[in-house]
A and B are shown apart, each in its own frame.
Chain A
Amino acid sequence: MTGTAAPTPRIPIAPHMQVYRPTLTMVMSIMHRLTGTALYAGTVVFVWWLVAVAAGRVAYETFLDVFGSVPGLVVLFGLTWAVLHHALGGIRHLIWDVGRAHTYPWREYLARANLIGSLTLSATLWVVFYPW
């Protein structure tokens, strides 16, 4: 052994997110978190709506103007998808929490149903109920 006391370099940490092949359930977990965060912010829109109705005709018209505009509609459609995706994702979590559908291929089916379900549901709701 040599007696040189070279400064110990900082120990590297093995790469993780950069090298891990994305899995469907992992992506869905991230999306559950993103949609949850979007809904967190989206409560402001919901409360704005309530306050506008409570405040009177003028405030309500303003709300309709803001959310009838193109950016406003985009936000509303985004929130529709977010709430449906997050709600279906929540059901997926509840199923896993009681120990069901952990096994291949059921866990993949659940994750896929979550995504397909939320997209078709939000598209359907808008096609049917938006006063085109």
Chain B
Amino acid sequence: MRAFLPLNFGTDTASWVAKGKIWNTPAGAKATRVFEIYRYDSESGRGPRLDVYHIDRGSCGPMVLDALIKIKNEIDPTLTFRRSCREGVCGSCSMSIGGRNWLACTQRIDDIEGSIRIFPLNHFPVKKDLVVDQRHVLAQHQIIQPWLKTAKPAPEGEWLQSPEDRVKLDGYYECILCFSCTGGCPSYWWNGDRYLGPAVLLQAYRWIVDSRDEATGQRLDTLEDPFRLYRCHTIMNCTKTCPKGLEPAKAIARIKAMLVARQH
């Protein structure tokens, strides 16, 4: 049952962020940077809070992820976040940094002025600190069946594809499913329970344009829905915030155009 206003309109007191703890400045630091980081621990019995950390820039690596690791190692071992590759290919470390979503491992500290505010990916349910619950968005990803679907049995070697058709996947296959775009989409904030969001729709398009796939029509059927697809109002936050430089809004526009084309 959905509430009268979406929870997320700010009426949900469980999500309010309180002022948190201010951690001491490290002794002997020359150039310090201030990090304000969202903290939440379901076992504390308290709501989310914003902790303030001071980092010695001189003894810290260049990226925001380096600072998070430094805090965890040297200041506060309870700080929780996801990371794996630390080079922008696994998609684990996406979060809200300085008012937009980016990968902590590819966001330079020095590119942000003033205090650096870090939150979990916008609007996702929070498990702990910067770790969000992705079960819903991953279930949405399953809806679009992100694998090659064919009626014909697999050939001996490989499925062939012309270079021209292969080029059509450029700008779409590179997606690392970090969900920066989905977290930054206002339509997903208000209607994420039904709207699939930019990341999943870009993935859907990646399979729709794949010349080897034989389920194009069925894929379009799955998307043709006022909420799953048409909640996109081309706000463009997705394209602007994609840390891989992809254009989810364009993928979505292409899907809409194909749905119109098959009507006439």
Closest to B17 in A: A15
Chain B residues within 8 Å of A104, by CB? 240
Q: Is the CB of B14 within 8 A of A10?
A: yes
Tell me the B7-46 residues at the A interface (CB within 8 Å): 7-8, 10, 12, 14-15, 17, 38, 40, 42, 45
Q: Of the 9-residue stretches B76-84, B140-148, B157-165, B246-254, which lies at the interface with chain A?
A: B246-254
Contact across chains for A14 and B249 when beta carbons are under 8 A apart? no
Stretch at the interface among B52-60, B93-101, B218-226: B93-101
* B247/A11 in contact, CB under 8 A: no
Identify which of B189, B236, B254 contacts A25 (C-beta below 8 A): B236
**Chain A residue nearest to B99 in the complex (CB):** A21
Q: Report the contact-size class of chain B (Cβ under 8 Å from the partner).
A: 35 or more
> Could you say which of B63-71, B125-133, B194-202 contacts chain A?
B125-133
- A15 engages B122 (CB within 8 Å): yes
Using Cβ atoms and an 8 Å threshold, which residues of chain B touch A128?
none
Beta-carbon contact of A16 and B257 below 8 Å: no
CB contact under 8 A between A26 and B123, given known A11-B42, A12-B14, A21-B100: no
**Residue pair B40, A12 in contact (C-beta under 8 Å):** yes
Is B91 on the interface with A (CB-CB < 8 A)? no
Does chain A have a CB within 8 A of B186? yes
* B121 CB–A CB distance under 8 Å: yes
Q: How far is the CA of A96 from the CA of B47 in the complex (A)?
A: 41
Task: Say which residue of B12, B100, B240 sits within 8 Å of A13 (CB atoms).
Answer: B12
CB-based contact B186/A15 at 8 Å: no
A9 vs B42: C-alpha distance when bound (angstroms): 7
Residues of chain B with a CB closer than 8 A to A19's CB: 96, 99, 117, 119, 122
Nearest A residue to B132 via CB reads: A14
Within 8 A of B (CB), among A81-97: 93, 96-97
Is B234 on the interface with A (CB-CB < 8 A)?
Answer: yes
Q: Interface digits, A99-114 against B, CB 8 Å rule (1 contact, 0 not)?
A: 1001110010000000
A97-B45 in contact (CB<8A): no
B256: nearest chain-A partner, CB-CB: A97
Min CB gap B77→A, angstroms: 21
B124 within 8 A of A: yes
- Whole-angstrom distance between the alpha carbons of A10 and B12 in the complex? 9
Bound: A29/B185 CA distance, A: 12
- Using a CB–CB cutoff of 8 Å, the interface residues on chain A facing chain B are 6, 8-21, 23, 25-26, 29, 33, 93, 96-99, 102-104, 107
B residues engaging A (CB < 8 A)?
7-8, 10, 12, 14-15, 17, 38, 40, 42, 45, 47-48, 96, 98-100, 117, 119-126, 132-133, 183-184, 186, 189, 233-237, 239-240, 247, 249-250, 253-254, 256-257
